Structure 1
Amino acid sequence: MAPQQTGSRKRKAPALQEAAAGSSSQVSAAVDGDGPLPLKKPKRPAAPRSLVNYLKGREVGARGRARLPGFDGELRGFAVRKLPELLRERELPLGTLNKVFASQWLNARQVVCGTKCNTLFVVDVQSGQITRIPLMRDRGPPPARAQPGCGIHAIQLNPSKTLLATGGENPNSLAIYQLPTLDPMCLGDRHGHKDWIFAIAWMSDTVAVSGSRDGTLALWKIDPDIFQGSIAWHSDAGLPVYAHIRPRDVENIPRASTNPSNRKVRALAFSAKNQELGAVSLDGYFHLWKARSTLSRLLSIRLPYCRENVCLTYCDELSLYAVGSQSHVSFLDPRQRQQNIRPLCSREGGTGVRSLSFYEHIVTVGTGHGSLLFYDVRAQKFLEERASASPYSSPGHAGRKLKLTCGRGWLNHDDLWVNYFGGIGEFPNALYTHCYNWPEMKLFVAGGPLPSGLHGNYAGLWS
């Protein structure tokens, strides 16, 4: 699908402009509601100190309600354990797009996504409106033997949420967009990767690292002030002109003696506290690099489960990496030779762990079988379902693992599906990506059918 070009650099896309205006009005309303207290305040019933009542108040937009002293701080630890069982799904139609691989929240109502069909788009989770973002093109003609595109596998916002890094029209290239307008800034298309980019991590507001299927890590320096003068628009064609950059450093993943050809970088995670970068390669190794102005490798560890290690996340509070494989999540503390946290098994029919995220001590696991699982690292067990559906019932558990099952999404019933999968009534979606918006207590989940040949998509807002 060809992305739609915008006509002017200074003009925001309608959906983005509307959201920005909505955010401004919300901020203004919040400020207006925090004025001096009246001398005499009418009495009202005491607010119940309950998570459910608190969330219900947020849902109906009770901005004028006085906050309970210290309640927000107490709520965080409680919510991270209790929120998953309160979440309810609302599917978001994506038309005929094929498999959402990556997603990130831009603001309270917009999520930016990348697909296998090489489409970069923003979806408004309230209205369902989709706005496509033009992809950046390499300088010069494509190679004579160009491989077919694999799509966009990675999207990452820098810490201040002023820049977005993702793939270009050529999946080997690193594209940087300005936020909140999503104007193109620069493209790393030369002297960089020779194969598809699978992972991106920001080390600071201006330094990003990309990991590729060619077995390399590339470190990029992005300075908005330098690039600002070189970005312009052709008034006659309405096409953007952006800077072309080269990496500051390129490092090779060490070759394993068992399978030297399969050192493809699949996932990255950055530790801001230790200034270290973790990388997972498809030959079954975890690599740790010291991240400064260049990258210097510290160690390589053979993973306990070596099949399909495709996702990686890091928890600063616990100083712990989590790696998702075909059937397990393994936990790594590079400073401890003996791992005290045993791997967890997803037990989802061998379909694999496809997405991972840490929040406090809870790991959210997106599987290839259309389900979300939640694991408490401190308790070393999955969150369990409650015995009663009533939120006000006495504490108790049914003993069953809490599992959120996602909807059917959309599947293209083409010849491949008819010939090979036509006898299957329901086909679960692999959850390739999920991301939390904790201030709004929302979770965005997306993906598509697991077999590579099938064409389809799923996206849902859990709130």
Structure 2
Amino acid sequence: MAPQQTGSRKRKAPAVEAGAASSSSQGSAAAGGEGPLLLKKQRGPATRRSLVPYLKGREVGARGRAGLLGFEGELRGYAVQKLPELLRERELALGTLNKVFASQWLNARQVVCGTKCNTLFVVDVQSGQITRIPLMRDREPGPARAQPSCGIHAIELNPSKTLLATGGENPNSLAVYQLPTLDPVCLGDRHGHKDWIFAIAWMSDTVAVSGSRDGTVALWRMDPDIFNGSIAWHNDAGLPVYAHIRPRDLETIPRASTNPSNRKVRALAFSGKNQELGAVSLDGYFHLWKARSTLSRLLSIRLPYCRENVCLTYCDELSLYAVGSQSHVSFLDPRQRQQNIRPLCSREGGTGVRSLSFYQHIVTVGTGHGSLLFYDVRAQKFLEEKALASPDSSPGPAARKLKLTCGRGWLNHDDLWVNYFGGVGEFPNALYTHCYNWPEMKLFVAGGPLPSGLHGNYAGLWS
């Protein structure tokens, strides 16, 4: 990986290392095992439906057998149900960085992260090595901001894993990097948002959408000529030169009569199947947009729980959005007048749902109290701990829901910690981000202390 190029050599075509993680929607499609197992009569020996032959066949590169593909789908379906109870934590040291807000797997061993202290970095989960990525700067310095260090709240990879979108040095700007080199490609700055970018979603390999706390949603189109092997421009100092782009469309969230001043866009999720974009605003509304060359708003729905709606995810397989709030996860199917799936309560002391992800029918919930919960949407209940009860024991109370509690992380014992928090020894870490690497059966989780004034971090690899 070359975070910053210093010479104007010609680059190779974009490549992606094997073992990259799938997003929730793509993962569901890949693991669905759709279609008949065998379309034609096989001349060779019948496929043995056993784990051992399957794994041995995969070792030697066996491909193309419908039976194996169907069996792999069954294995993934079984794994998504059983993996959480098998996960064990290994903490990763991040030094003095402050609160990891966003993360994505780049390949089988590297995760890219963004922090509240506006640092973009790659961590090697095997060696623990951290590589910082230079941020892109606006063409012209903007006006002084009251809080310039709001940080990087979103990192998203395009479907082919060739481009990465995140924030710039100015948190109002959209920065796009090429993968796997992480060379800068383009920056959407002065013609875009007027306030911090909180969320990003890719609609295709070259079209991205960003949501800002200025109450707008912007659609950006990346010209393929910018990154098709020609981004080898450098200035006299040897630093990369990147293009500056403007949004193709900029739409404003409608003002709610109940809370007209708080229409900040907090989260986005894209449905590839329906070509629709879901958005959550902090005034307690869910908005749905038809996403084509422009954005056309279809509807706005008042959410049942309106406090701190800060995360959103979508499952193509179930055609379902999930919204995380201060104490609940609400499920929305915009095509159904009456929602059939009741909201679930996290019951984590009101610290809130801070991160969400769908994989098949399981929702992973990262809370503000340092724990991970797992909810089965089809069964409409949390995954439970497997009690080690003896066969002759009498039936006891219901099993406890499975909860993974994350480690202590690092906390800065500064004057604010002493004066305002009384020197309390430990604070649970809010889990602001988590991402799965399903081919490797790994889960990366990160965050930091929930109180806004405290400085600290947490990162862990669960495998």
Distance 2:318 2:20 in 1: 35
Aligned-pair CA distance for 1:89 = 0.4
Aligned-pair CA distance for 1:4 = 7.9
Q: Is the 8 A contact 1:9 1:240 kept in 2?
A: no
Q: Is the 8 A contact 1:4 1:132 kept in 2?
A: no
Aligned-pair CA distance for 1:421 = 2.0
Distance 1:14 1:222 in 2: 15
Distance 1:455 1:52 in 2: 48
- Look up the match of 2:7: 7
- 99-108 or 415-424: which moved more? 415-424
Cα distance per residue 1:400-428 (max 9 Å; x no partner): 01000000000000011111223423211
Cα distance per residue 1:346-405 (max 9 Å; x no partner): 000000000000000000000000000000000000000001299999999960010000
- 184-193 or 29-38: which moved more? 29-38
Cα distance per residue 1:17-68 (max 9 Å; x no partner): 9999999999999999999999999999999989899999999999999997
C-alpha change, 1:9 and 1:391, in structure 2 (3 Å) is: farther
Q: Is the 8 A contact 2:15 2:179 kept in 1?
A: no
Q: Is the 8 A contact 1:51 1:79 kept in 2?
A: no
- 334-343 or 35-44: which moved more? 35-44
C-alpha change, 1:309 and 1:20, in structure 2 (3 Å) is: closer
C-alpha change, 1:247 and 1:59, in structure 2 (3 Å) is: same
Q: Is the 8 A contact 1:52 1:391 kept in 2?
A: no
SS class of match (1:3): coil
- 13-22 or 123-132: which moved more? 13-22
C-alpha change, 1:131 and 1:54, in structure 2 (3 Å) is: farther
SS class of match (1:398): coil
Q: Is the 8 A contact 2:12 2:229 kept in 1?
A: no
Q: Is the 8 A contact 2:18 2:108 kept in 1?
A: no
Q: Is the 8 A contact 2:21 2:438 kept in 1?
A: no
C-alpha change, 1:187 and 1:349, in structure 2 (3 Å) is: same
C-alpha change, 1:397 and 1:210, in structure 2 (3 Å) is: farther
Aligned-pair CA distance for 1:231 = 3.9
C-alpha change, 1:221 and 1:60, in structure 2 (3 Å) is: same
Q: Is the 8 A contact 1:13 1:131 kept in 2?
A: no
Cα distance per residue 1:147-167 (max 9 Å; x no partner): 422100000000000100000
Large movers: runs of 4+ above 3 Å:
1-71, 144-147, 226-236, 389-398
SS class of match (2:268): strand
TM-score (structure 1 length as normaliser):
0.86
Identity %: 91
Aligned-pair CA distance for 1:141 = 2.2
- Look up the match of 2:186: 186
- 158-167 or 385-394: which moved more? 385-394
C-alpha change, 1:164 and 1:396, in structure 2 (3 Å) is: farther
Cα distance per residue 1:320-339 (max 9 Å; x no partner): 00000000000000011111
C-alpha change, 1:143 and 1:336, in structure 2 (3 Å) is: same
Q: Is the 8 A contact 1:136 1:187 kept in 2?
A: yes
C-alpha change, 1:56 and 1:340, in structure 2 (3 Å) is: farther
Aligned-pair CA distance for 1:300 = 0.2
Aligned-pair CA distance for 1:272 = 0.4
C-alpha change, 1:338 and 1:94, in structure 2 (3 Å) is: same
- 15-24 or 188-197: which moved more? 15-24
1:45-194 matched pairs, under 5 angstroms: 71-145=71-145, 147-194=147-194
Q: Is the 8 A contact 1:386 1:397 kept in 2?
A: no
C-alpha change, 1:217 and 1:387, in structure 2 (3 Å) is: same
SS class of match (2:28): helix
Q: Is the 8 A contact 1:5 1:134 kept in 2?
A: no
Distance 1:230 1:47 in 2: 47
**Higher relative contact order (Cα pairs below 8 Å, separated by 6+ residues):** 2
Cα distance per residue 1:222-271 (max 9 Å; x no partner): 02324558744436412111000000000000000111110000000000
- 236-245 or 174-183: which moved more? 236-245
Distance 2:240 2:248 in 1: 25
- Look up the match of 2:288: 288
TM-score (structure 2 length as normaliser):
0.86
C-alpha change, 1:395 and 1:299, in structure 2 (3 Å) is: farther
- 62-71 or 312-321: which moved more? 62-71
- 169-178 or 41-50: which moved more? 41-50
Distance 1:369 1:289 in 2: 33
C-alpha change, 1:45 and 1:427, in structure 2 (3 Å) is: farther
SS class of match (1:54): helix
Q: Kindly indicate whether residue 227 of structure 2 is the aligned counterpart of residue 216 of structure 1.
A: no
SS class of match (2:262): coil
Q: Is the 8 A contact 2:201 2:268 kept in 1?
A: yes
- 416-425 or 351-360: which moved more? 416-425
Distance 1:338 1:372 in 2: 29
Distance 1:209 1:191 in 2: 14
Distance 2:395 2:14 in 1: 47
C-alpha change, 1:379 and 1:71, in structure 2 (3 Å) is: same
Distance 1:383 1:89 in 2: 18
Distance 1:324 1:29 in 2: 24
Cα distance per residue 1:279-302 (max 9 Å; x no partner): 000000000000000000000000
Distance 2:4 2:277 in 1: 36
Aligned-pair CA distance for 1:72 = 2.0
C-alpha change, 1:34 and 1:401, in structure 2 (3 Å) is: closer
Q: Kindly indicate whether residue 327 of structure 2 is the aligned counterpart of residue 327 of structure 1.
A: yes
C-alpha change, 1:215 and 1:99, in structure 2 (3 Å) is: same
Q: Is the 8 A contact 2:54 2:68 kept in 1?
A: no
C-alpha change, 1:28 and 1:80, in structure 2 (3 Å) is: closer
- 66-75 or 208-217: which moved more? 66-75
Q: Is the 8 A contact 2:47 2:67 kept in 1?
A: no
Q: Is the 8 A contact 1:278 1:286 kept in 2?
A: yes
Unaligned segments of structure 1, at least 5 residues:
none
- Look up the match of 2:37: 37
Aligned-pair CA distance for 1:435 = 0.3
